[in-house]
A and B are shown apart, each in its own frame.
Chain A
Amino acid sequence: MQRPKPLPTEVLSDLAVSAATKLQRLRHLGRYFKQSSKAMEQQVSRDARFYGSLIRLQQNWKVKRQRVAAMGPGSEGFSFDLLDNSFVDLTALSRPSSISTVRVDHHYSGILSIQRPQKLCRFISLRFIGADPSCKQKSISRKKIYSLAEHHRAAKTEALTDEEVNECVKDTHSILCEIHQSTFEEQVFDMVNHETYNPLPGISVTGMREDFLQLAIGQETSVCLWLVPSGKEDGPQMVDPKGDSQNGESGLLNSDSMDLAIVGDDQHDFFKMNLSGMPNPVSLEIYLLFIFHENVLARARERRSCATRAQVPGEPADGSCGVLGHFCMTVAHRIFSNKVLSELESLVNGVPYLQLLSHPTWHSRTSSWSLFLKFPQSVLHAGRRSKISDNHHLKHGMRSQFHTKVVVKDDQINVSGEGAPSIICSFRGSSDDICSLNSFGCDLEDLPMILLQQVASQVIRWLHEEALVVGMKASRDFLCLYFGLDHGDTLGLVAHVDPDDVNGCISWWVVMDDGSAEGKNLTYYGESESRRFLGHLSLEALYATVMDLASLCSIGGIH
């Protein structure tokens, strides 16, 4: 028996049902596709955010990738590698830096962020012990790692603007800069430690901890280096000057800046120690970083150019004393040259017509100044110029300016003057000019006296020349100018130099005598009939005095 033939209505209803089912499925499929496209769109924008940020950061930082599935969700194994391999080879690192690889987090919202290292970033800092901590000039601005805003951004889901993504990338970049810089400064600290293993002349290690190093330079100065985490820039609280009676716990020093501290020799007075003459510790920090970096670059260049040479890691390539030795000598030089400068400044304060010029030497262990003296142009000199022969000019080297140069190399002072008659010449009694450069070394204690004598003798020389121009019969000694009077008498104009005189360092006396008076005895004997104190005269006043004396002498019938 066959199946009954379906009625037309049944066929139609079957068709209707299957059509409806098909439509249903098509609708379902349509919904599926639409939902997929929406989800894909969101995923695409999230990925674009992440990889866009990664590409921007990749322009400056090395990116590594580990395709490890076990990294966990939301992370493709990217990381930033902050270690420079060429650098690592050259520096014999005793401690491997634990923060040189920074992991990248890929948040659900597409934001790229980095896992901050566990340890705080540490930086080098220099300080003088005994100084008021608030005095330290915080000139190196550190970008702060602590940006809480970043967390908020990462927590937000979809409503992220381009601005916010941009801010995130910038923040990440500055954090990486900070970590990178800190890695370098820790390496420099290691290199400094490494250099102390070799014996250095004049430098000894008086304290050492994991993040602290104390060096004694010569007899008088001590230098401390610390590693300080960022955010604690005022430096460690060095309560105990003797340094390490406590256990080497960083609790004593709240911060680990690589602080350079200079300790005076006298432990009792260190709080009262006058630290105004000390060089700025910040500049020394920068210099330390600079020279060690230059050293590494130089060694890298050397290695590239001579590949066959056997490398001895850690051996300093420059100079006989190494980089650290050079640095310590620079510190010592700076302290010494500050002392020299204060002497020169007090001198120049005491002599109104003297100017102090400083000259750049472009070498960290050399300083140079000059004392500059300009003589006023004399009216007679201008008028009489034509009457004086050229020979006279050349022979006597008439000058209107006079320089004394003071050069300090390490702790050696060298004074040189132009055409200044030396003390030796004065003993010979010769009044001939010496136009050649005349230089000698001296000590810090003798410096003011020597310079004042140079200046005074130059003034005498100038007055002598001016006196000759007007036709006076004049002769000079080292610090005295003698005018010949009638009857064989001489009138002497004598310079007296005293660096400690508060009214002025060079004062003048008129002496009526037989010409044997020396400047030294004048103040002892005081004023008398034959000696008059003129005071601290300016150059114009001296010139006028000499001209007055000229008229006095000419009455007596000279010429």
Chain B
Amino acid sequence: MSSRGQTTSLQRLHLVEKRIVRVVELAGSVMDELANSTGPRKDILTNHCREFMQSIKDIQTTLREEIKSACEYRPFEKCDYNARISNEICCKKLEYIIEQLDGMQQSIVQCKDGL
């Protein structure tokens, strides 16, 4: 799975978690509404319950999709540690050369000033 796909999948699962939180919150609101001393307001109750059911459905769909599309995780398949070391060595070479070139440039500037 590409890194972009992984991030999106993670985002989707994060959304699922947020929805679950919202669902629990809704349940709390419904209870509060039922406990209203003047009696529960029907429209608020129906709204909350509708949102609750819709969220549950969304959660279910998303989870089903994610579980289906989750690929088998194969650990350590293409270890790039050697390439990393090569790159570090290349960086060192470049830093060294840049330093030498800076020194050369300084010498040239000094020579020009001397003239």
Which residues does A use to contact B, with CB under 8 Å? 23-24, 26-27, 29-34, 36-37, 40-41, 44, 47-48, 51-52, 55, 59-60, 62-64, 81-82, 84-87, 137, 139-141, 177, 180-181, 184, 282-283, 286, 289-290, 293, 296-297, 300
Contacts and interface: CB of A to CB of B under 8 A. Distances in A.
B89 interface: yes
A492 B110 CA distance: 45
B21 A27 contact: no
Contacts of A48: 14, 17
Given A82-B81, A84-B82, A44 B37 contact: no
Given A82-B81, A286-B89, A30 B21 contact: no
14 contacts: A27-B31, A30-B27, A30-B28, A31-B32, A34-B32, A37-B28, A41-B18, A47-B17, A60-B84, A62-B75, A139-B96, A289-B92, A293-B85, A296-B82
A172 to B, nearest CB: 16
Given A33-B25, A37-B25, A137-B99, A44 B14 contact: yes
Nearest to B98: A139
B55 interface: no
B86 interface: yes
A29 B81 CA distance: 54
Contacts of B28: 29-34, 36-37
Contacts of A137: 99
A286 B79 contact: no
A34 B32 CA distance: 10
Contacts of B79: 62, 84-86
A30 B35 contact: yes
A26 to B, nearest CB: 4
Contacts of B10: 51-52, 55
A297 B81 CA distance: 11
A111 B89 CA distance: 31
B51 interface: no
Given A40-B24, A55-B10, A59-B3, A26 B82 contact: no
A27 B30 CA distance: 9
A30 B96 contact: no
B34 interface: yes
Nearest to A35: B28
Contacts of B17: 40, 44, 47-48
Interface string B91-106: 0110110010000000
Nearest to B3: A59
A184 B85 contact: yes
Contacts of A86: 79, 82
Contacts of A52: 10
Given A37-B25, A290-B89, A62 B31 contact: no
A84 B18 contact: no
Given A180-B81, A286-B96, A27 B24 contact: no
Given A23-B34, A181-B85, 8 more contacts: A27-B32, A29-B28, A30-B29, A30-B32, A30-B33, A40-B20, A44-B21, A60-B84
A121 to B, nearest CB: 13
A139 B95 contact: yes
Contact of A44 (B7, B18, B99): B18
B6 interface: yes
B15 to A, nearest CB: 10
B86 A282 contact: no
Contacts of B35: 23-24, 26-27, 30
Interface string B68-86: 0000000110011110111
B37 A23 contact: yes
Contacts of B29: 30, 34
Q: Most B CB atoms within 10 A — which of A40, A81, A181? A: A40
B50 interface: no
A41 B84 CA distance: 38
B88 interface: yes
B22 interface: yes
A412 B6 CA distance: 59
A87 B76 CA distance: 14
Contacts of B34: 23, 26, 30
